[in-house]
Structure 1
């Protein structure tokens, strides 16, 4: 009897996906017919009717489920579902998270509780992986996997004499790559494939927007906001988005997804290490399915590896997201989340620059796959150790803690000469990065503004690391550079009326979406009176348009903004903008400068302290006038501290009923979409 095991994942950055694929591969070697897929890539009926399932899920933002399991999660939350509708399901769950964040592993906890509520039976105790663990996430995964295999093998015992072989082996190829001649036609094919790749990696388009394909946007402004010498480099970027779908009609709170490029030096370094001609034009196709291996006398719970004929499709048959070729069921890729699509025609330079995440940090399965290419025994042994459960500490120290990239790893193991078509399997796709838009299409039509912190830090061994996307954007020259951008809705739900009271909390770069919201509501109020708005100076600051001073005489209460940073003189983002908006009567601004306190006490003041100082104002706006609250910024400590501050000030209002009443009120605001958090790590 064949036992089917469905392995599902909810993954925002690819880590949960990789763990799920690893689980599926290991289960396949133990005789299970298995596959790994995102929860939203299969019919809901299939997911809820399976009898044996493993769920690997991460948590994103402020405790939200990943985007590629949101449809499935909404289905599970339906009130009309029978309490025993999952009685035939036996399941196991492993969650991925970081205990440094407030809602640690919230997705795994919620999914686990809901499956039990609907009658599903737990196979093994829920596992939680923590990035803060001494041995990293894989150190938490290994003991959970041991209990999973024990539970699964009770359901499907291995035949007597079966040997489970988990040693690394060369699997049949997923892709083929053939050289091609450069020509005018190939140049057009390259550009078309490039754009299709961007589209395959962009977040799903909402049903309300028919066209959201990424398109190049010309960089107009690249200006440093923080003072020279300040430890953090924060940039104000402006783009001409006239050619980007939605670039003239996006809404406040929307997100711009930027498709980055790798550092040119890293691309050259990898090309030299692998002996690649970066200008070579190549055609990429799925490899044809491999013939099943011949059975051996002794039962072995794995597919036999070895030399295989690498069949290919005809040239030009590109890797399609709609019809991928999958050599083995347990190796199935999810086109939507994994970016299975590859340009059918490309140059090696373009693949290493825009398609593969060569500066990302490798995970354990990469070292296992790389070990089969090592020709030096010492390198092979070290790679196998890094890929083994016993080597979890070494993996954490070598890769995770030091944030080593793929380029560095290839340099550390020079005997591993990987064919370029195999790089497409070993190195994941380069994913777009999301930035909250800091402008309003009503105020600066066909322009998109971003407020971006350039990621730069030292590892425990003092190695300098920089963010791929932020460092690339910071290096671009306005006027000539074009950046691929797609626009998608954010998490904020704004009041329908621009006169409805609104409280915003946006410390640091969390102020970006608040700038968009304030400008849009100001413009809406002005247009409602047939009056004037404001203009942009081209350097990111505002000024009242000539002859049209902003008076704020709309009768609407001003928007309330709490902004925090370290120093007024060094990182007070958009100070001039807030002065104009405040002077017009459209904004009430409260600031917290944590490192420059005028009282001389040396105590640090944050936005949550300013919220408590304005208890009467806030309680009146929320309780008496139904104000909405928006919170944006770092997901670590800030959202929890801010929520506690709001709870404390609301508890003081006579109509609320203390802390219990304040908690109930905030939960009701959550359900109504009146309390929204947009947080990032």
Structure 2
């Protein structure tokens, strides 16, 4: 990251891939698995009546179906009603067809909100639930949005190390309609977790993690995570270091404040003539023993006088408080 000039408060955009298992299942349901790796040309159908029809910029005009479903389109996006209408056209079973028509009808709006939007139903969920639905792959691609980058706050300061930056994420898990496929994880967090498996922290401590990181190099082709810097001009340390700060961050939301505190700690060492303002941090999570991110770092910031006050709230620790308390 030598050419990335970041500051505390900035974020990075992580460009993920869709899960291989889900991509495989979608291609199988669409009866395209046998030609998933064949290079195809993508173009607008001749004679189309749609105004200003064009191939979206995020879909290459010459590529493979596997590449498109893995890296270009968001296969987890809740299908819109117009998409359900298209799916119903290519559904052979009368009962399944009727169900899809109900979901996309005006009368079925409440059911659509509950069954599709709130339940985070995906294209794969629908193809599994309605096995007689088998639309042409081109109709699917017309309605899948772009796979967007996910933003993560930078949890480090360039004053400590300007050649690397840190992020923190929480691995989200969701049930799948088809249990044999396994658990469904957040697209980006699941991909990050899978991509970094060789150097992940094991239960016995940090030694293996540090060893794994030290063995990596810029020429290592085993782990590649595309990212780009997102400057955040409205979320930075004040230019006047004498101003007091109140920081509030539940869970992984505390990540940018680690960068703030690291920055302030080094500034205090190098700018001894300044009377720095107090910093109060409010941090909350569910369980003290399981979710207390950066515990040792916070304690050191307090001991070193960087943090003036540290307020903690653990909402799910049974027996320690009668009513759950939250920091925001």
* 1:443 and 2:157 correspond: no
Partner of 2:294: 574
* Structure-2 residue corresponding to 1:267: 23
CA offsets per residue over residues 192-223 of structure 1, 9 Å max, x none? xxxxxxxxxxxxxxxxxxxxxxxxxxxxxxxx
State how far apart, in whole Å, the 1-side matches of 2:307 and 2:281 are: 7
Corresponding residue for residue 136 of structure 2: 419
Per the alignment, residue 275 of structure 2 pairs with 555
- The change in CA–CA distance for 1:289 and 1:513 in structure 2 (over 3 A counts) is farther
Q: Distance in 2 between matches of 1:357 and 1:599?
A: 43
Structure 1 residue 253 displacement after superposition? 0.7
Q: Distance in 1 between matches of 2:317 and 2:146?
A: 46
Give the equivalent residue in structure 1 for 2:203. Answer: none
CA deviations on 1:206-263 (whole Å, 9 max, x unpaired) are xxxxxxxxxxxxxxxxxxxxxxxxxxxxxxxxxxx34xxx63x111111111111111
Equivalent residue number for residue 520 of structure 1 = 263
Q: Which runs of 5+ in 2 are unaligned?
A: 200-215, 217-221
1:198-277 alignment, distance < 5 Å? 241-242=1-2, 247=4, 249-276=5-32, 277=35
Q: In the comparison of the two structures, how many residue pairs are matched? A: 298
Let me know the Cα RMSD of the aligned residues: 3.0
Q: Which residue of 1 aligns with 2:306?
A: 586
> What are the equivalent positions in structure 2 for 1:212-361 lying under 5 Å apart?
241-242=1-2, 247=4, 249-276=5-32, 277-288=35-46, 290=48, 327-328=50-51, 340-361=57-78
How far the C-alpha of 1:564 sits from its partner, in A, is: 1.9
3-state SS, counterpart of residue 390 of structure 1: coil
Corresponding residue of 1:482: 224
Tell me the alpha carbon deviations over residues 340-359 of structure 1, each in whole angstroms, 9 at most, x when there is no partner. Answer: 43223222211111112113
Partner SS, residue 167 of structure 2: strand
Q: Residues 289 and 493 from structure 1, CA distance in 2 versus in 1: closer, same or farther, beyond 3 angstroms?
A: farther
Q: Which protein is richer in strand relative to its size?
A: 1
Greater relative contact order: 1 or 2 (C-alpha under 8 angstroms, separation 6 or more)?
Answer: 2
Q: Structure 1 residues 362, 520: closer, same or farther in 2, change over 3 A?
A: same
In structure 1, the residue matched to 2:151 is 434
Cα distance, 1:569 vs structure 2:
2.4
Task: Map 1:166-177; keep pairs closer than 5 Å.
Answer: none
Asked if 1:472 corresponds to 2:191, the answer is yes
Relative to structure 1, is the Cα distance of residues 404 and 597 closer, same or farther in structure 2, using a 3 angstrom cutoff?
A: closer
Aligned to 2:108, the other structure's residue is in SS state helix
Indicate how the Cα distance of structure 1 residues 515 and 422 shifts in structure 2: closer, same or farther if over 3 A, else same.
Answer: same
Aligned to 1:511: 254
The alpha carbon displacement at 1:493 in A equals 4.1
Gaps of at least 5 residues in structure 1 are: 1-240, 292-326, 530-552, 608-637, 639-681
- Cα distance in 2, alignment partners of residues 374 and 492 from structure 1: 50
How far is 1:566 from its partner?
A: 3.0
Report the Cα distance in structure 1 between the residues aligned to 2:106 and 2:316, rounded to whole angstroms. 48
Q: Separation in 1 of the partners of 2:275 and 2:173?
A: 45
Give how far 1:599 is off.
10
TM (norm. structure 1) is: 0.40
Structure 1 564/394 Cα, relative in aligned 2: closer, same or farther at 3 Å? closer
Contact 1:592 1:606 in 2 (8 A): no
Superposed, 1:31-110 pairs within 5 Å as none
State the secondary structure of the residue aligned to 1:417.
coil
Alpha-carbon contact 2:87-2:100 (below 8 Å) kept: yes
Q: Closer, same or farther in 2 for the Cα pair 1:566/1:409, shift >3 Å?
A: closer
Contact 2:284 2:315 survives alignment (8 Å): no
